[in-house]
Structure 1
Amino acid sequence: MTNLVILVGRISRDPETRSTQGGSSITTINVVTDRPARNKEGKTYKDENGYTVKDAEFHRVTCFNGLGANVAKYCKKGQLVSVEGRLHYSSWEDQDGVKRYGCEIYADKVDFHTKPRSGENEDAPPIDED
């Protein structure tokens, strides 16, 4: 059995980092991917300019410790990244006692495919452009 997720998309907002009581670092990013939209018949369709209409999907990605520190330091909104990890499901009760459910990706690896905009994180490691 395997629980494996691979995403390639853009970071939709700057990373957010927090620390646990035990001192572990947790960084969260949201990665947006898109796919062709489908009509009622299940077929893709084009807009008035001739482009295929897309549906965006937002994925919450959680990075721990060293990986989280690197993502927090080198990633910014708009950057193209690939993420490898696994799905993690959770449930909790909100303040009104309603049972809530969530799904996120626990990242094992995050590769940077573009650098942030000019002037930001110029000390970032080089990107392999092969």
Structure 2
Amino acid sequence: MAADTNLPLIGNLTADPEIRYTPAGVPVANFTVASTPRVFNRAAGEWIDGEALFMRCTAWREMAENVAESLTRGSRVIVFGRLKSHSWTTEDGQRRSRIDLEVDEVGPSLRYATAKVTRTPRPSATTTATTTAAADRSGDLVGAGVGGDPWSGTSAGWGAASPGDDSPGL
């Protein structure tokens, strides 16, 4: 939606992600990312830590399960999402509010680490039709219009040779 405030966030998880399930059985993972900017102090001639930002993040559905399975406390991550404001009244009548990041994409940062990606199984054809909207939000390739496994390298696509490409042997 055009009115959403989208932003990237790079930082470290402050604790292992917590996963829970809604009454309807939908998985939700919550985690907090600490992002500390580094600034150069010209007088001292050195880099120093700026003020840390702690952002609570929420991932839904299959992504929630993947986050809970893949990420741990201290993991450096790159998160893209939308800011959401939540307001509530405490039991003693005080109004509270909080801004969270509703996660669209998340992954490990490879700046200081390596990772091996394991694709999760795709849903069956009968469930795919009913979950297309959710799968599109989670980044799955449902309805992409390309036959076969997009990772097998056998279909013509971006990785296939095209007119004008030089042979590696030339």
Shorter-chain TM-score tier? 0.7 to 0.9
Counterpart position of 1:72: 68
Query: Which of 98, 102, 107 is equivalent to 1:102?
Result: 98
Contact 1:45–1:53 (8 Å) recurs in 2: no
TM-score by length of 2: 0.59
Amino acid at match of 2:27: S
CA contact (8 A) 2:36 2:49 kept: no
Percent identical: 26
- Does the Cα contact within 8 Å between 1:47 and 1:53 map onto a contact in 2? no
1:88-99 alignment, distance < 5 Å: 88-99=84-95
Report Cα offsets for 1:84-112 as digits up to 9, x if no partner. 11000011100101111111000010011
Amino acid at match of 1:10: N
Q: Is the 8 A contact 1:16 1:27 kept in 2?
A: yes
Other-structure match for 1:9 = 11
Query: What code does the residue aligned with 2:88 have?
Result: W
Greater helix share, structure number: 2
**Partner Cα separation in structure 2 for residue 51 and residue 97 of structure 1:** 45
How many residue pairs are counted as aligned between the two chains?
Answer: 113
In 2, Cα distance between equivalents of 1:110 and 1:47: 37
Of 24, 27, 31, the residue aligned with 2:33 is 31
- Compute the RMSD of aligned alpha carbons: 2.5
Give secondary structure in 2 for the equivalent of 1:97: coil
* Structure 1: runs of 5+ lacking an equivalent: 38-43
Distance 2:100 2:90 in 1: 18
Segments of structure 2 that go 5 or more residues without pairing to the other structure are: 119-170
Partner of 1:76, secondary structure, is coil
Counterpart-to-counterpart distance in 2, 1:112 and 1:11: 10
Query: 1:81 maps to what in 2?
Result: 77
Distance 1:47 1:9 in 2: 27
Tell me the equivalent position of 2:52.
Answer: 56
> What is the rounded CA distance, in whole Å, between the counterparts of 1:112 and 1:58 in structure 2?
17
- In the superposition, the TM-score normalised over structure 1's length comes to 0.76
Aligned to 2:59, the other structure's residue is in SS state strand
